[in-house]
Structure 1
Amino acid sequence: MTNLLRSRLLGSLALAAVVLVAGQVQAQTPDAVARRLQQRYGAIESLQASFVQTAGGQRLQGTLSVRQDAFRLDLGSQVLVTDGGTLWSYSRDDEQVVVQDYEPARVGFSVGQLFTNYLDVFRVTGATKATIGGVAHDVLTLRPRQSGSSVRDATLYVRSSDAVPTRVRVHDTNGGTLAFDLRDVRRNVSLPASTFRFQAPSGTEVVDLR
């Protein structure tokens, strides 16, 4: 897996987590949204979802599991897994897994921060309403607090009826747009520790960069 693809996948994961956490609230004023987000931190322990990601004309489908700093992102031909300390990047096509220390700085922040310190990572700059396919949505606009982030801003869409997130649109500092659509979101599911460890299949080449 190239460094570019790995960064894109890590960024997508982090943004998915943003959507799922933001989806806990109903959009009102930006300040009200921020307060509601802060009140909901303790309710998020884990999540799972399927997704479709579109960027640069490329469409990817996969599944996502997150628990604090640990996550598993499965795109079929590519799998990224971390327990919060070690990152495994597996390519089924190449029959190779790259093992390295997990460095959240690659995506500008720690995924786990989205469940513990959301408002330290992003600020809510807008809260509006929209109708998508006849369904009412709350729309949140976010900007990263940290300077130097590759993300310029993100727009999150959550269903008004049940606060389930359905999509995110991200604009990066290079003018690119990433579309992320979530399906079958489940919060606070039971995830065994093995979910966040990777066991290389027999015959896999292991490249250990630690």
Structure 2
Amino acid sequence: MNKLLKTISVSVLGAAMLSPVLSTVVFAATAASEQQATRNLVQQLSNIKSFSANFEQTTKATAGTKPAQRTGLSAQHMNQTFVGEMKVERPGKFYWETKTPAKQTIVTSGKTVWIYDPDLQQAVRQTLDDQVANTPALLLSGNTAQIMQAYRVAQPDQSKTYYRLYPRVKDSAFQSLTISFGTNKAPNMMVLLDSLGQTTSIRFNNVKVNPSIPASVFNFTPPKGTDIINQ
């Protein structure tokens, strides 16, 4: 599950320009206070009741990370781009399907999370407890108040709609999560720096804000013959 759920952190900081007279003018970004950044993110998320998008996800090892530490993804998956689609309906409904280069589906209707691997004919079933619910990829389908309790929020440039979240607990699976919003007020990119020294970037395209999504999308029934693993 963590291959796809430990998702996400962007860095688009600062602004600098060269003037026509060869002098360098630096425009320093004004960061919002933590309180204001939190209010801004809450407002941004509150406008999204549902959304759907295609995604491209890539994970890379951070420079300087020792090979022995790179245990989050196998070497064959590192630096590969996973392509698929996702659908979210708040609160608590989430659908994530990777189509290439390997197939995997993650589905929850708010109580149980299913991770289905058709190639292995295997489905993992987990209860959506607090630990799983705080996984980055599920944040967008979560309760806004709970998200704010779980993370410190920074807005490096208060004129830009991107935010960096830091887990309040020390043993979190990731160090920081950055989320950027586009002109349609929906996420267009997420970047995660995890505790294994890996950076996962997810770009969203073909985004639809507040679409009507059939309830059946978030209900999963394992195909006949599937090996079910309870965790």
Task: Identify the TM-score tier after normalising by the shorter chain.
Answer: 0.7 to 0.9
Structure 2 partner of 1:49? 53
How many pairs are equivalent?
A: 185
Residues 166-175 or 54-63, more deviating: 166-175
1:74 to 74, 77, 97: 97
RMSD: 2.9
TM-score, scaled relative to structure 2? 0.67
In 1, Cα distance between equivalents of 2:4 and 2:130: 12
Taking the TM superposition and a 5 Å limit, the aligned residue runs for 1:16-165 are 29-30=32-33, 31-40=35-44, 42-55=46-59, 56-67=78-89, 68-76=91-99, 77-106=103-132, 108=134, 111=139, 112-128=141-157, 138-159=161-182, 161-165=183-187
Which structure's residues are more often helix, by fraction?
1
Q: CA 1:162–1:96 in 2, change beyond 3 Å: closer, same or farther? A: closer
In 1, Cα distance between equivalents of 2:180 and 2:47: 20
In 2, Cα distance between equivalents of 1:139 and 1:187: 18
Segments ≥4 residues shifted beyond 6 Å: none
Structure 2 partner of 1:8? 3
Task: Report the alpha carbon displacement of residue 107 of structure 1 after superposing the two structures with TM.
Answer: 6.1
Q: Which amino acid aligns with 2:207?
A: V
In 1, Cα distance between equivalents of 2:95 and 2:152: 26
Aligned-residue identity in percent: 25
Structure 2 partner of 1:3? none
Contact 2:134 2:147 in 1 (8 A): no
Tell which structure's C-alpha radius of gyration is larger: 2
User: Looking at both structures, which has the greater relative contact order when contacts are Cα pairs under 8 Å and sequence separation is at least 6?
Assistant: 2
In 2, Cα distance between equivalents of 1:145 and 1:103: 17
Which consecutive unaligned segments of at least 5 residues does structure 1 have?
Answer: 1-5, 17-26, 131-136
